[in-house]
Amino acid sequence: ADLGSFITALPKAELHLHIEGSLEPELMFALAERNGITIPYRSVEEVRAAYAFSNLQDFLDIYYAGAAVLQTRADFHDLATAYFDRAAADGVIHAEIMFDPQTHTERGVAFAIVIEGLLSAMAQAEARHGMTTRLILCFLRHLSEEAAFATLAEAEPWLEHITAVGLDSSELGHPPAKFARVFAAARAKGLKITAHAGEEGPPAYVWEVLDIIGTDRIDHGNRALEDAALVERLRTADMTLTVCPLSNLKLCVVDDLANHPIDRMLAAGLKATLNSDDPAYFGGTIADNYRAVAQARGLDRAALATLARNSFTGSFLPHETIASHL
Ligand code: HPA
Ligand code: ZN
Reported as a single tens digit per residue, the pLDDT across 64-73 is 999 999 999 9
pLDDT of residue 181: 98
Q: What is the mean pLDDT of residues 133-148?
A: 98
Please write the tens of the pLDDT for every residue from 267-277: 999 999 999 99
Q: Which atom of ligand 1 is nearest to the CA of 20?
A: 9
Alpha helices, H only, 214-261: 228-236, 245-250
The ipTM assigned to this model is 0.96
pLDDT of residue 284: 97
Query: Can you give the residue range of the structural domain that contains 233?
Result: 3-315
Around ion ligand 2, which residues have CB less than 5 A away?
A: 277
Q: What is the mean pLDDT of residues 130-158?
A: 98
Q: Please indicate, yes or no, if residue 322 is contained in any of the structural domains.
A: no
Q: Which residues line ligand 1 (CB under 6 A)?
A: 18, 21, 56, 168-169, 196, 199, 247, 277-278
Q: Please indicate, yes or no, if residue 321 is contained in any of the structural domains.
A: no
- Cα dihedral angle (219, 222, 227, 229), rounded to 10 degrees? 40
Residue 302 predicted with pLDDT over 80: yes
Q: Binding site annotation covers 319?
A: no
Please tell me the total count of domains within the chain.
1
pLDDT of residue 166: 98
Look over the chain and give the mean of its residue pLDDT values, rounded to a whole number. 97
Q: Which atom of ligand 1 is nearest to the CA of 220?
A: 7
Residue 243 predicted with pLDDT over 80: yes
pLDDT of residue 153: 98
SS3 238: coil
Q: Please indicate, yes or no, if residue 254 is contained in any of the structural domains.
A: yes
Q: Are 234 and 224 in contact (CB under 8 A)?
A: yes
| 220-254 per-residue burial string, b: 16 or more CB within 10 A, e: under 16 | bbbbbbebeebbebbeeeebbbbbbbbbbbbbebb
pLDDT level of residue 315 (50, 70, 90 thresholds): very high
pLDDT level of residue 98 (50, 70, 90 thresholds): very high
pLDDT level of residue 11 (50, 70, 90 thresholds): very high
pLDDT of residue 220: 98
Q: Percent of the chain scored above 90 by pLDDT?
A: 99
Q: Which residues carry out catalysis?
A: 199
Q: Binding site annotation covers 263?
A: no
pLDDT of residue 296: 98
Q: Please indicate, yes or no, if residue 323 is contained in any of the structural domains.
A: no
Out of 56, 140, 249, give the residue to mutate to test ligand 1, the one with the largest number of ligand atoms within 8 Å of its CB.
56
pLDDT of residue 286: 98
CA of 167 to the centre of ligand 1 (A): 9
Q: Which long-range contacts (CB under 8 A, 24 or more apart) does 225-228 make?
A: 225/261, 225/264, 225/265, 225/268, 226/202, 227/203
CATH number at residue 54: 3.20.20.140
CA of 251 to the centre of ligand 2 (A): 11
pLDDT of residue 132: 98
pLDDT level of residue 185 (50, 70, 90 thresholds): very high
Looking at the CA of 194, name the nearest ligand.
2
Q: Binding site annotation covers 227?
A: no
pLDDT of residue 137: 99
Q: Whose Cα sits closest to atom 4 in ligand 1?
A: 169
Q: Please indicate, yes or no, if residue 203 is contained in any of the structural domains.
A: yes
pLDDT of residue 165: 98
Running DSSP on this structure, what letter comes out for residue 225?
G
The whole-angstrom separation of Cα 11 and Cα 154 is 35
Q: Binding site annotation covers 325?
A: no
DSSP string, 71-116: -SHHHHHHHHHHHHHHHHHTTEEEEEEEE-HHHHHTTT--HHHHHH
Q: Please indicate, yes or no, if residue 194 is contained in any of the structural domains.
A: yes
CA of 69 to the centre of ligand 1 (A): 19
Q: Please indicate, yes or no, if residue 146 is contained in any of the structural domains.
A: yes
pLDDT of residue 16: 99
Residue 1 predicted with pLDDT over 90: no
pLDDT level of residue 74 (50, 70, 90 thresholds): very high
Out of 14, 136, 243, 278, give the residue to mutate to test ligand 1, the one with the largest number of ligand atoms within 8 Å of its CB.
278
DSSP string, 19-76: GGGG--HHHHHHHHHHHT---S-SSHHHHHHH---SSHHHHHHHHHHHGGG--SHHHH
Q: Please indicate, yes or no, if residue 227 is contained in any of the structural domains.
A: yes
CA of 1 to the centre of ligand 2 (A): 32
